Amino acid sequence: MSDLIQLLTTDGVRVEDPDVAFAPDAALLAEHGDEAGVLRAMLRDMTLVRRFDNEATALQRHGELGLWPPSLGQEAAQIGAGRALAAHDFVFPSYREHGVAWCRGVELVDLLGLFRGSDHVGWDPAEKGYAPASIVIGAHALHAVGYALGVLHDGAVGTGDAARDTAVLACFGDGATSQGDVNEAMVFAASYNVPVVFFVQNNHWAISEPLTRQTRIPLVQRASGFGFPGYRVDGNDVLATYAVVQRALEHARSGQGPVLVEAVTYRMGAHTTTDDPTRYRTDDELEVWRRRDPIDRLAKHLRATGAADDAWFAALEAEVEAFGTDVRTRCHAMPEPSALASFDETYVEITPTLAAQRAEVEALLALDETAEVAR
């Protein structure tokens, strides 16, 4: 289907969809009391992630990070998908999924280590169910399908046991759909009917290449070519994204195979801090999407329905500001990495060649140490 699924308009009004409804799962309801509580929690998620993302962009300008890929504008897509995941599901992210990382319990400041050059990953992927960021565009779609095949072989699909049935979420952008790896991953996923959800955040720009050059048809239609279902959802609508991804994950967990979800959103910021989007897109286009802001529309809805009052928003604002300061402080305090970390963190069992090189580097470091002492 190519129709855009939407459950919350840009004015913050709830609407019905014939196929999909917003129904938070039991765990979310239990944690936040009721549906309004879940919506407040999602707004808080999105606001904290945006504050973090803005702080990270600023930290790059301060000279504290080598590079930063902003997620500004894509918060609803990422929180919607992230909150739909079960604890035992597994995510293969690109480098821009800060909101999904947050939902997996990754400390956001730990995302900075890679971009500061002080860490390779920053979290335990197995513990969080969240793989290291893939900088290579689309390469991790294959990893996701491989992991999902493993899930299939483990028999953790279609048992009807919610604590056992597992889905894999592969997150990438519209640019990645032009990559061979992503297309191969989709062929393989269909061949073996693995429990994977391909979650495409269509943010309209592959660095400076517009979506119109990437595809002649809505990306969601590609799913039928590979032979599995696809959903096209308003990626700036956190309710709709949650509902669609929830359904897609359930489809995968129940053993019905892969699903493609195209979340239509917009990258409000630059591709990375190295990029200048004013060179290839217009202010008019940006303004259109500013009016579709994912945080504004949910805030409007919560105010209009009385689910959140001024005091709640004031408290959120204070929390968010303190959060930004905390990220900055902890970023400054990140320790310098050991030059030996590359050897120690690449393979489980180090190869003989690398072991020899490690010893060589260790000797060089000792040499430096000696020079330091001699001074």
Partner 1 sequence: MADYLLPDVGEGLTEAEIVGWHVAVGDTVTVNQVLLEIETAKSIVELPSPYAGTVEELLVEVGQTVTVGTPIIRIDDPNAPAVEAPPRPEDVAAEGPETLVGYGPRETVSRRRRSGAASGSVLAPGHRPPVAPPAPAARPLASPPVRLRARELGIDLNQVRPSRADGVISMADLTAAPAATAPEMPPLKDREYREPVKGVRRMMAQAMVESAYSAPHVTLTVEIDTTHSVDLVRKLRQDPRYAGIHFTSLLLMARACILALRDHPELNARWDGEAITFRRYVNLGIAAATPRGLIVPNLKDAADLSGPELARAIQQLTETARDGRAQPADQAGGTFTITNIGVLKVDSGTPIINPGESAILAVGAIRRKPWVITTKDGSEAIAIRDVVTFSLSVDHRFIDGAIASKFLAQIAAYSEDPSGLGL
Active site residues: 267, 271, 280
Torsion of CA 278, 72, 198, 12, to 10 degrees: -110
Q: Residue written as tokens 């073996």?
A: 192
Contact mark string toward partner 1, 118..147, x via CB under 8 A: x-----------------------------
Contact indicator for 81, 263 with CB cutoff of 8 Å: yes
What is the distance between the alpha carbons of residues 298 and 80, in angstroms, rounded to a whole number?
A: 12
Among 40, 116, 247, 267, which residue interacts with partner 1 (rule: CB under 8 A)?
A: 116
Among positions 93-112, residues that touch partner 1 (CB under 8 A) are none
- When asked if residue 117 is in the footprint of partner 1 (CB under 8 A), the reply is yes
| Window 28-47: contact mask with partner 1 (x via CB under 8 A) | --------------------
In angstroms, rounded to a whole number, what is the distance separating the alpha carbons of residues 291 and 375? Answer: 61
Q: Give least dist CB 63 to partner 1, A.
A: 3
By the rule CB under 8 A, 274 interacts with partner 1: yes
Measured from the CB of residue 118, what is the shortest distance to partner 1 in angstroms? 5
Residue 358 lies near partner 1 (rule: CB under 8 A): no
Give one DSSP letter per residue of 60-72, joined into a string.
HHTTS-S-----T
Selected binder of partner 1 within 28, 65, 189, 268 (CB under 8 A): 65
For residue 277, give Cα distances in angstroms to 205, 210, 282.
10, 11, 9
Q: Which stretch in 29-37, 142-150, 153-161, 271-279 sits in contact with partner 1 by CB under 8 A?
A: 271-279
Burial of 171 (0-12, 13-18, 19+ CB in 10 A): buried
User: Interface with partner 1 by CB under 8 A: which range of 15-23, 71-79, 261-269, 325-333?
Assistant: 325-333
* Nearest Cα residue to 319 out of 80, 113, 51: 51
Q: Does position 372 bind partner 1 by CB under 8 A?
A: yes
**Under rule CB under 8 A, residue 66 binds partner 1:** yes
Which residue from 71, 22, 21, 68 is spatially nearest to 45, judged by alpha carbons? 71
Q: Among residues 275, 319, 326, 362, which is the contact residue for partner 1, using CB under 8 A?
A: 275
Q: Does 326 bind partner 1 (CB under 8 A)?
A: no
Residue 175 CB, shortest distance to partner 1, in Å, is 18
CA angle 28, 29, 32 (to 5 degrees): 85
332 binding partner 1? (CB under 8 A): yes
Check: CB of residue 238 under 8 Å from CB of residue 292.
no
Does an H or E element contain 181, and which? helix 180-192
Among 336, 348, 352, 353, binds partner 1 (CB under 8 A): 336
Burial 136-170 (b: 16+ CB within 10 A, else e): ebbbbbbbbbbbbbebbeeebbeeeeeeebbbbbb
Near partner 1 by CB under 8 A: residue from 198, 231, 273, 307: 273
Of residues 67, 72, 286, 316, which one binds partner 1 by CB under 8 A? Answer: 67
Hey, what amino acid is at 299? A
Residues 148-167 contacting partner 1, CB under 8 A: none
Does 224 help bind partner 1 (rule: CB under 8 A)?
Answer: no
- Interface pick for partner 1 out of 8, 45, 48, 60 (rule CB under 8 A): 60
| For partner 1, the closer CB: 348 or 371 | 371
Determine whether 30 is exposed, middle or buried from the number of CB atoms within 10 Å of its CB (0-12, 13-18, 19+): exposed
Question: What's the rounded Cα separation, in Å, for the pair 195 and 171?
Answer: 14
Q: Does 354 bind partner 1 (CB under 8 A)?
A: no
Which positions touch partner 1 (CB under 8 A)?
Answer: 54-55, 58, 60-67, 116-118, 273-276, 278-279, 325, 328, 332-334, 336-337, 360-361, 364, 367-368, 371-372, 375
